[in-house]
Amino acid sequence: MLNLTYVDWLIMLLYFVFVLGIGFALKRYMKTSKDFFQAGRALPAWICGLAFISANLGAQEVIGMGASGAKYGLETAQFYGIGAIPAMVFVGIFMMPFYYGSKARSVPEFLRMRFDEKTRALNACSFAVMTVFSSGISMYAMARLIQALHVFDGLFAALGWNPDGIFTFSIVLSAVIVLAYIFLGGLTSAIYNEVLQFFLIIAGFLPLVLLGLRNIGGWSGLKASVPMQYMHEWKGVAHASTNPMGIEIIGIGMGLGFVLGSGYWCTDFLVIQTAMASKNMASARKVPLIAAVPKIFFPFLVILPGLLAIGLPTPHTHTVERNVNGMIVRDTTVVPQNVEQGRGLVPAKINPVTGKAMLDTNGDPLLDYDLATPNMLLHFFPTGILGLGLTALLASFMSGMAGNVTAFNTVFTYDLYQSYIHKGGSDRHYMAVGRWATVGGILLSIATAYAAINFNNIMDTLQLVFSFVNAPLFATFLLGMFWKRATGHAAFAGLITGTLTAVLHHGLTLPLLAHPGIHGGWIAVVHHYHSDMAQNFWTAIWAFGANFVVTVIVSLLTKARPESELVGLVHSLTPKPPKAHDVWWKSPEALGIAVLLMAVALNIFFY
């Protein structure tokens, strides 16, 4: 049972006060829509860089990576070494000149400049839906976690409120805070709070990892307590059946590295918006590279807690006999059944209807991996620092939501409202629309949060959504930026085909040990993958491939745009950016190479 004292509440309250305070302090700088939606394009590179990774440091990162660490072991670090770092270097060096240089205010707007109106409309609509969905998942996950950890139970009991209201209370609380600071300070507020949350996560999770490692006996102790294959990132990836994630090297390299990783880090406006808010081209190009440096070290912070949770001994109900002044005293520690059936600190999943542990097709209990990291917090942190850890967790959920909400209000206002609903309004009008779009976006997220989610791993759910929408997208940007022949009709046809292919592939395949339905195979099962992760990666590969092929074919059949219209949008037609006056080792290229070398070193360490 969670025992929070006044110190924990004080720290949590302090965080909320500062978050809202930053919003109020920024309100007077919000004069034009550019200030509100693009942070005035005036922020320093390091702030945007930390916000760049922090925008992604929401639920799927902190809880999801811990869950994957517990489920798949160190192979999860592939999401960093392969799935993020190369894409971040690529977007900084090669793609940012077009995003920033084109003066587009959003990623869909870039698509209109490079291709045409319908491609932009398609992307803007799917993106708007996706951000609301992601923000809703974040909200739902947070409310569920608060319930599971009994964070507010004491508070509710003290106030005499009905504990059934905790779920709604959590959702309303987070929604009101996020809404307030974005409504007041726009993107600047979101970026500032993302940086604040970045440091808060480190402050909350670094002591957790240190304590966990100390308890298990250091790195060698961890090695001794988990299966051998959990400690390797690369060993066994030659074949799907010999590594915990159940995926082979082509799936990882192509699916995660080339398609999903790039699709996310290079095209998702959620992260790109922070780079586009920086003060000049050189800064904008450095933003993803600065972000990549802490990203390299994040596996230690977010994956290790999950792995440690699996490695620690499983608690059992036990009785200790003590002799107190000649009296035999029996202390019985009762451990709930679902905890005893779990592994380490990861409990078994409970069916909410029957109250019994849920089983897979082999009859083994399903583990609730999402609780791996939170249970570590409860296990190691005494009151005081526990408040800090829980605040870090709450902050990560809220900033994940905030990034989605600012991306949503920008795309809605510029790409949907200004383009199709009300053209030629005043700047003040669009800023007001942006503020009300923030309210609308949050209300839609709340609606999403109330829709139930059936997966046992948030990461898998989000990867699935991303693979339908984002995976085909990267092919469009790659061809658009580096092949001047690509046309608007082709990009549109390619995107549609790509997404349809993804849906079709998901409907025709199924991971082993899963029932047909939301996990796939809802049309017919023609192929079994070793894991849902493998299925997701291959869905992405098929979507990307279909988009690429269709875009190339349709481009060759349709009329190309005159080259004069594509200057600044396509690589071969854009003059090289003038060299900055910095010394060579401060250039984005040098920084990019340094980041890649560090990433290689990390991969060798985790081999």
Partner 1 sequence: MSLDLRVPMGLMFTLVGAILSVFGIATRGSVIYEASLGINANFWWGLVLLAFGLTMFILGRRSQARLAKLRPEPVDETRSRLGH
Dihedral, CA of residue 492, residue 498, residue 502 and residue 504, to nearest 10 = 90
Select from 116-124, 190-198, 354-362, 569-577 the region that touches partner 1 (CB under 8 A).
190-198
**Stretch touching partner 1 by CB under 8 A, among 12-20, 301-309, 445-453, 534-542:** 12-20
Is 11 a binding residue for partner 1 by CB under 8 A? The answer is yes
| Minimum CB distance to partner 1, residue 269 (Å) | 21
CB of 36 to partner 1, least distance (A): 13
Residue closer to partner 1 by CB (options 307, 392) is: 392
Taking alpha carbons only, the member of 405, 383, 445 closest to residue 12 is 383
Contact region with partner 1 (CB under 8 A), list: 23-31, 96-104, 175-183, 471-479: 23-31
Residue position matching structure tokens 């988990």:
226
- Minimum CB distance to partner 1, residue 17 (Å): 9
User: Among 20-28, 229-237, 568-576, 594-602, which window interacts with partner 1 (CB under 8 A)?
Assistant: 20-28
Helix (H) or strand (E) segment spanning residue 511 = strand 509-511
Question: Which two three-digit tokens encode residue 459?
Answer: 């990461």
Does 181 bind partner 1 (CB under 8 A)? Our answer is no
| Contact with partner 1 (CB under 8 A) among 29, 94, 169, 300 | 29
Segment near partner 1 (CB under 8 A); pick from 193-201, 407-415, 419-427, 547-555: 193-201
Region of residue 351 (left: phi > 0; alpha: psi -120 to 50; beta: else): beta
- Share of the chain residues as helix, strand and coil, in percent rounded to the nearest 5: 70, 5, 25
By CB under 8 A, is residue 196 in contact with partner 1? yes
Element (H, E) at 443: helix 427-450
**Contact between 16 and partner 1 per CB under 8 A:** no
Tally the residues of the chain.
607
Query: Which among 172-180, 210-218, 353-361, 499-507 is the span making contact with partner 1, rule CB under 8 A?
Result: 210-218
CB of 282 to partner 1, least distance (A): 16
Residue type at 476 in one-letter notation: T
Comparing CB distances to partner 1, the nearer of 431 and 458 is 431
Q: Are 110 and 104 in contact (CB under 8 A)?
A: yes
What is the CA angle 135-139-140, rounded to 5? 115
Residue type, 313: P
Which residues are bridge partners to 343 per DSSP?
346
Residue 578 touching partner 1 (CB under 8 A): no
Site for partner 1 in 388-407 (CB under 8 A): 388
Q: Which of residues 436-465 bind partner 1 (CB under 8 A)?
A: none
d(CA 217, CA 270): 40
> Hey, what are 368's tokens?
């609730």
Min dist CB 7 to partner 1, Å, is: 5
How much is the CA Rg of the chain, to the nearest whole Å?
Answer: 24
Question: Smaller CB distance to partner 1: residue 18 or 450?
Answer: 18
Q: Which is nearer to partner 1, 22 or 350 (CB)?
A: 22
The Cα 607–Cα 602 span in angstroms is 9
d(CA 159, CA 137): 29
Measured from the CB atom, is 379 or 484 closer to partner 1? 379
Q: Does 192 bind partner 1 (CB under 8 A)?
A: yes
Contact 233, 82 (CB under 8 A): no
Give the residue with the Cβ less far from partner 1, 88 or 388.
388
What is the rounded CA–CA span in Å between residue 438 and residue 169? 20
Q: Smallest distance from the beta carbon of 191 to partner 1, in angstroms?
A: 9
* 26 contributes a contact to partner 1 by CB under 8 A: yes
Sole window of 42-50, 72-80, 225-233, 468-476 interacting with partner 1 (rule: CB under 8 A): 42-50
Residue from 195, 272, 291, 402 binding partner 1 (CB under 8 A): 195
Binding mask 95-114 for partner 1 (x = CB under 8 A): --------------------
Closest to partner 1 by CB, 132 or 388: 388
State the Cα angle at 235 between 232 and 241, rounded to 5°.
110
User: Which DSSP category does 343 fall into?
Assistant: B
Applying CB under 8 A, among 10, 224, 228, 557 the residue interacting with partner 1 is 10
State yes or no: residue 21 binds partner 1 (CB under 8 A). yes
- Residues with Cβ within 8 Å of 174's Cβ and at least 6 positions away in sequence, in order, are 139, 142, 143, 394, 397, 398, 401
Residue 172, Cβ neighbours under 10 Å: how many?
14
Query: Could you give the CA distance from residue 303 to residue 70 in angstroms, rounded to a whole number?
Result: 8
372 contacts 69 by C-beta, under 8 angstroms: yes
Given the complex with partner 1, which of 25 and 421 has the nearer CB atom?
Answer: 25
177/195 with CB nearer partner 1? 195
Q: Which is nearer to partner 1, 9 or 605 (CB)?
A: 9
> In the bound complex, what is the minimum distance in angstroms from residue 92's beta carbon to partner 1?
22
Residues 352-391 contacting partner 1, CB under 8 A: 379-385, 388
- The CB-of-207 to partner 1 minimum distance in angstroms stands at 5
Q: Which stretch binds partner 1 (CB under 8 A): 73-81, 89-97, 191-199, 432-440?
A: 191-199
Of the candidates 129, 140, 124, the residue with the CA atom closest to the CA atom of residue 58:
140
Binding residue (CB under 8 A) for partner 1 from 4, 20, 22, 151: 22
Whichever of 98 and 192 has its CB closer to partner 1, that residue is 192
Q: Is 586 in the site for partner 1 (CB under 8 A)?
A: no
Q: Kindly report the CA angle at 63 between 49 and 134, in degrees rounded to 5?
A: 70
Alpha helices per DSSP H over 102-236: 107-114, 117-149, 153-159, 166-216, 218-225
212-241 residues in contact with partner 1 (CB under 8 A) are: 214-215
Q: Which tokens is 175 given?
A: 């929604």
Contacts of 540 (CB under 8 A, 6+ apart): 255, 256, 259, 260, 263, 466, 467, 471, 502
Residue 187 or 367 having the CB closest to partner 1: 187
Residue 21 makes CB contacts below 8 A (sequence gap 6+) with: none
Binding flag, residue 188, partner 1 (CB under 8 A): yes
Interacting residue ranges for partner 1, rule: CB under 8 A? 7, 10-11, 14-15, 18, 21-22, 25-26, 29, 39-40, 42-43, 47, 188, 192, 195-196, 199, 203, 207, 211, 214-215, 379-385, 388
